Amino acid sequence: MPTLPWTAPHTPPPGTEVHVFASRFRTRTLWGALRFLARTPAVWRQVGRAPGAYGATLRAQPLRRTFWTLSAWESADALHAFARSGAHRPTSRALAAEMHDVAFATWSTSADELPVRWEEAVRQLT
């Protein structure tokens, strides 16, 4: 699966501050990576409908068992509401045992800086 392009469900007002979230997941097994891939479409559809979502992308390296997410939100509360609802909640719970070496990063940026570049996400995660 190639990198999914930046998808912007909602347009933030110019110049506003947005909440950025990045993650990196490594699965324990190739089977775990396949399970992650199988659940990706439902979560991706949820992102497209999520209130407060200003953009998201996913980089999948299934043969390396590594997945990266990068998203921008109206607020931390909008991100948390997304994570606790829809397909994301049961997916994250179902895959939790498959994960190891997980990293998360959050920061703020201007809406004028969207879409966030992958290089910045990798820098924030390391």
In the chain, domain spans: 4-118
Which tens digits make up the pLDDT trace of 69-94?
999 999 999 999 999 999 999 999 99
pLDDT > 70 fraction of the chain, expressed in percent and rounded: 99
If DSSP codes are grouped into helix, strand and coil, which group holds residue 14?
coil
Higher pLDDT, 34 or 2: 34
Tell me whether the omega of the peptide bond preceding residue 115 falls within 30 degrees of 0, making it cis. yes
The CATH classification number of 4-118 equals: 3.30.70.100
Whole-number Å distance between alpha carbons of 7 and 9 = 6
Mean pLDDT, residues 54-62:
96
Q: What is the pTM of this model?
A: 0.93
Transcribe 42-99 into DSSP letters.
Answer: HHHHHHHH-TTEEEEEEEEEGGGTEEEEEEEES-HHHHHHHHTSTTHHHHHHHHGGGE
Distance of alpha carbon 81 from its chain centroid, rounded?
Answer: 14
**Residue 101, phi-psi category: left (phi > 0), alpha (psi -120 to 50), beta (remainder):** left
Side chain identity at 87, as an amino acid letter? A
pLDDT of residue 2: 74
69: its two tokens: 């997410």
